[in-house]
Structure 1
Amino acid sequence: MTWNIEIENIAGILDGETTIEPGLNAVRGSNWQGKSSFIEAIKTALGTSTELTENEDSGRVQLRTPDREIAVELVRENGSVRRSGTPYLENEYDVIRAELFACLDERNVVRSAVRRGKNLEDVLLRPLDFQNIDEQIADLKREREQIQSELSQAREAKKRLPGVQEQVTQLEKEIKELREKRDEIAVSDADDGTSDDEDDESPQQQLSEVQTERSQAKNRIERLERTIERTEERLEQRRSELESIEIPADDDVESELASAREQLQQLKRDSEVLQSVYSANEMVLKEGRLDLLTEVERELTADTVVCWTCGNEAQREEMEERLNHLGDKITELRARTEQYHEKVKELETRREEIDQTKRRKRDLEREITELEETLADRRQSLEEAEKRYRNAQEHAEELSDAVDETVEAISDVESKIKYREAELKDTRDELSQLETRADQVEMLESESEEIRTEIEELRNRKDRIKRRAREAFDEAMDEILSRFGTGFETARLTADFDLVVARDGREASLDALSEGELELIGFVAALAGYESFDVDETVPLLLVDGVGGLADDNLHTLIDYLHERTNYLVFTAYPEYTSFEGREIDPSNWSVATNRQVRTD
Structure 2
Amino acid sequence: MKTDLKRAEQDTPPRATLYANNIGGIDETTVTFKQGVTVLAGRNATNRTSLLQALMAALGSDKVSLKADATEGEVELEFGDELYRRSLERRNGTLVTDGDPFLDESERIDLFAFLLESNEARRAVSRGDDLRELIMRPVDTDAINAEIDRCKQRKRQIDDQLEELEELEGQLPDLEAKRTRVTDEIEALQEELETAQFELEETDVDVEERREERSELETKLEALRETRSEIERVRERIETERESIDALETEREEVETDLESLSTGEETDLGRLEAEIDTLQAEKADLSEEISQLQSTIQFNEQLLSDEESILPEVSSGSDNEGDDGSDVTDQLLADDDTVTCWTCGSAVAQAQIETTIEQLRSVRQERLEDRSELDTELDERRETLSAINENRTEYRQTERRLESIDDEIDRREERVEELIDERERRTDEIETLEAEIDDLETEEYGDVLDQHKEVNQLEFELERTQRRLEELDGQIDDIEDRLDDRNGLEERREDVTDELTDLRTRIGQIEADAVDAFNEHMENLLDVLGYGNLDRIWIDRTTQDVREGRRKVTRSSFDLKIVRSTDDGSAYEDTIDHLSESEREVTGLVFALAGYLVHDIYETVPFMLVDSLEAIDADRIGKLIEYFESYVPYLVVALLDEDAQAVDVEHNTVAKIGSPSTS
TM-score where L is the length of structure 1: 0.49
What is the TM-score with the length of structure 2 in the denominator? 0.45
Q: Which has the higher contact order (CA 8 A, sep 6+)?
A: 1
